[in-house]
Amino acid sequence: MSTDGAHPEWVQTILDALKAELPAHIRAAHEQAIKAGDLPVTPRKYLSYDEAAHYLGMTPKALRCAVEQGAGPRSHRPGDRKVVRFTVADLDAWMVARDSNA
């Protein structure tokens, strides 16, 4: 187990490796949120445009444009076709793909 007892050691190893792959601005924002106690105990499975844009460090308008042009992260439309949601995994994958194409 990890020192805080939250994850088995093998899970913590994977989480640490994934965290190391995050872009620096996301890593810094995550660490700042941890220090401030702003992270939820249970992360939400789906994020809104505003939440996803904040997570990515961009404006909601820029994210919306990228999605509408087919250049944004994978999005989901649960139930109501007007509502668009994102998973953190899809946002992370999109950021990694963008970094590798730079």
Highest mean pLDDT among 10-19, 52-61, 80-89: 52-61
Maximum alpha-carbon separation in the chain:
44
pLDDT reported for residue 3: 44
- What element of type H or E holds 27? helix 24-36
pLDDT reported for residue 35: 74
Residue (of 100, 89, 102) closest to 18 by Cα position: 89
Instruction: Report helix, strand or coil for 85.
Output: strand
52 and 87 Cβ atoms separated by less than 8 Å: no
pLDDT, mean of residues 29-51: 73
d(CA 96, CA 21): 8
